[in-house]
Chains A and B, each alone.
Chain A
């Protein structure tokens, strides 16, 4: 192709783009001017238009969006549901909303009322909005290829059962949930029947149940999220091919709190996460063939609780530092592998200086075994009697799983990664 024809084609493309630009208009919503409500702006608009909403207070019942428009709020105009309604329902694809404050969506026990609900659409973006005191904040059902980015979602519902989830995805695919901050909802982020989605850099704090909760959601990717002080941490169930990388699980403390509760999880990767000060770092039940690499377990009550029905999990190069119990299990059988982990409770020696301890380390203390079967005995923790018991068991293991041991305990904390 020579230069001239290339230029002609380029200018032709430019004209098409320009023509399209001319076709799409900008409508301005402002009290006292031509268009005073979002609803009437939507009625007047065509697909591809942009609606700019000036800062004000809008209370319009339920706004139903069935055109592909872009809604831009200037300085966070407030859209109020007055505790009665769903605030916005989106039924058309290619919709974008940014810069609004949604508040007070109605509480309903029949339908999961939400501030904004996307229903069976594609290619939508919800970005940079604020959500205050909604029942559910962002709710996506049967939606694909959409993004939920940098929203702030806060509920201060003191009535415990009156709270829905912050970001709720049901039956979705290819959703990007990135950089949101969620506080005070039932579950911060909830996924059910979701496929291949990315959950990154979200911050979930102080939610009533779980910071993150997903079920039946295969092949999703969770990276660099921060889960702190949620009532029960993070729960993950009935799911295959989960990848959890570099997340932070912090201060999930309470009688039934877990950093991460895993139930029926298979073929998944848990890599470079940090579990700090949780009642229980990770709880495994019926989990098979998972790789747990390079995680830090620091100052937890239990770093790992491993139930008998979990098999073929590989724990490699993790750091177990200052946990009350490193590993606890409820049987004398073990079908999992621990290797090359660093255990701060290890007091073996390394004569050949290869950074691998010359005696294997048994992370299951006899006492943790007793506690697993009889929780009340926890009161004896750190008593002289228990120390003696543990010591005796260390020398001649009889009750604890004989083959649950780390043959190659590291002498120093590991910082090198396995990928």
Chain B
């Protein structure tokens, strides 16, 4: 029996599916002053765990105060069913490998997507249930307050910043869907490409952490403690946990990020000098250093979203163009 490229691809997608047993599919992280380390839940195919050893207990303790039900995996039937659903897809996927039937694979993909959507909706219902059905005898009662965590994204619940996002498992399933979709539309390169592009984009949007607006004159720079006040120079660093750190100048962001755990950094943002207070990702930014333009921390770095606006300012004020790596070296030289 010969195995062709297509079958290898299908097989790899099934391996991805089977890997979902070993990774959580959803994560809920809570940020609160009383847990400086952070506290969080991980939802797996067949269980719910805490990020750290006692997180689940702690969350249940917290929930008890506001009258939420105890999160108990025994009481969630879906956790028992889900593994079987994935196993079903893996087995039927094996048939895909040898059948080579368009209709069959289309059905398989559609079914998988439908199951995913149902799963999401079901998850939402659970969240709704936990957030709304509160014990009337709870020690802390706030009229009109519901504690439903967001499905995807971040929400402030009392003093907790709750962030809910798909975890590795979801991405694995997503990848399996993409691989098989591409195979399905193999005849037509364009469709397959655009389709996969859209799926990737969707997935990317799922986990896109957006920068926050800087509240000028009311927030302090995370690096130098100065009050952030000049809206032409504000900058932000977003951690993988979704925490947003704000800076009064690009040089402060550079300095801080260099002394920060690189694996923790999700994205970094700087203000577009020609269009304040719009923030742009440092990947899309062009930097200029001109002694004629004085920045809050004295290294006089400003950022632009495109070379036209950069050159316009450069022609007026002179200065040198930098890229991010050069900025890092500059700040190291100047501030050490």
Q: Which residues of B contact A285 (CB under 8 A)?
A: 225
Within 8 A of B (CB), among A159-184: 160-161, 170
Centre residue among B33, B227, B277, B297 by max chain A CB count within 10 A: B227
Q: Are B230 and A161 in contact (CB under 8 A)?
A: yes
Residue in A closest to B226 when the chains form the complex, CB atoms: A235
> Does any Cβ of B come within 8 Å of A261's Cβ?
yes
Is chain B's interface secondary structure helix, strand, loop, or mixed overall?
Answer: loop
Within 8 A of B (CB), among A67-116: 109-112
User: Does B294 contact A192, Cβ atoms closer than 8 Å?
Assistant: yes
Instruction: Say which one of A209-217, A335-343, A404-412 lies at the interface with B.
Output: A209-217
In the complex, are the beta carbons of A186 and B229 less than 8 A apart?
yes
Tell yes or no: B167 within 8 A of A by CB.
Answer: no
In the complex, the chain A residue whose C-beta lies closest to that of B292 is: A111
Contact across chains for B227 and A231 when beta carbons are under 8 A apart: yes
Q: At the interface, yes or no: B36 with Cβ under 8 Å from chain A?
A: yes
Asked if B38 CB lies within 8 Å of chain A CBs, one says no
Contact B231–A256 (Cβ < 8 Å): no
Q: In the complex, what residues of A have CB within 8 A of residue B293's CB?
A: 110
Q: Which residue of A lies closest to B229 (CB)?
A: A209
Any chain B CB within 8 A of the CB of A193? Answer: yes
Q: Chain A residues near B313 (CB, 8 Å)?
A: 110
Nearest Cβ on chain B to A68's Cβ, whole angstroms:
26
Task: Say whether, besides A160-B216, A256-B220, A263-B225, A374 and B298 are in contact (CB < 8 Å).
Answer: no
Q: Which residues of B contact A231 (CB under 8 A)?
A: 217, 227
* Given A209-B217, A216-B298, A231-B217: A261 touches B316 (CB 8 Å cut-off): no
> What 0/1 pattern do residues 295 to 326 of B give for CB contact below 8 A with A?
00110000000000000010010000000000
- If A109-B276, A160-B217 touch, whether A193 touches B298 (CB-CB below 8 Å) is yes
- Indicate if the CB atoms of A261 and B225 lie closer than 8 Å: yes
Complex Cα spacing A215 to B225, Å: 13
Interface residues of B in 204-263 (CB under 8 A from A): 216-217, 220, 224-227, 229-232
A110-B316, A231-B217, A374-B36 as given contacts; A256 in contact with B298, CB under 8 Å: no
Additional A-B contacts beyond A112-B294, A160-B217 (11; CB < 8 A): A161-B231, A186-B229, A186-B230, A192-B298, A208-B217, A209-B227, A231-B217, A232-B227, A235-B226, A256-B227, A263-B225
Instruction: Tell me the bound Cα distance from A375 to B230 in angstroms.
Output: 28
* Cβ of A255 to closest chain B Cβ, rounded Å: 9
CA distance A161 to B230 in the complex (A): 6
CB-CB under 8 A from A208, the residues of chain B are: 217, 229
A-B contact list, 7 entries, CB within 8 Å: A161-B216, A209-B217, A215-B298, A232-B227, A256-B220, A263-B225, A376-B34
Asked whether A237 is an interface residue with its Cβ less than 8 Å from the other chain, the reply is yes
Bound Cα distance A374, B216 (Å):
25
B332 CB, nearest partner CB in chain A, Å: 16
A249 and B214 CA atoms in complex are apart in Å by 28
Name the residue on B nearest A258 (C-beta). Answer: B225
Q: Number of contact residues on B: which range applies?
A: 20 to 34
Binding site for B on A (CB under 8 A): 109-112, 160-161, 170, 186, 192-193, 208-210, 215-216, 231-232, 235, 237, 256, 261, 263, 283, 285, 374-376
Give which listed residue, A161, A170, A215, A374, contacts B33 with CB less than 8 A: A374
Q: Roughly how many angstroms separate A237 CA and B224 CA in the complex, as a whole number?
A: 9
Taken together as a complex, chains A and B put the C-alpha atoms of A208 and B294 apart, in Å, by 19
Q: What is the CA–CA distance of A186 and B231 in the complex, to the nearest angstrom?
A: 12
- Distance of A209 Cα from B230 Cα, bound (Å): 11
Q: What residues of chain B lie closer than 8 Å to A186, measured between beta carbons?
A: 217, 229-230
Given contacts A208-B217, A209-B217, A231-B227, whether A375 and B33 have CB atoms under 8 Å apart is: yes
Minimal Cβ-Cβ distance residue in A for B297: A215
Pick the 9 closest A-B CB pairs, nearest first: A160-B217, A376-B33, A161-B231, A256-B220, A232-B227, A209-B227, A209-B229, A161-B216, A208-B217
A109-B276, A112-B294, A256-B220 known; A374-B34 Cβ under 8 A: yes
Complex CA distance for A256 and B217, rounded to whole angstroms: 11
A263-B217 contact in complex given A170-B294, A186-B229, A376-B34, C-beta closer than 8 Å? no
Chain B residue nearest to A256 in the complex (CB): B220
Chain A residue contacts of B316, Cβ below 8 A: 110
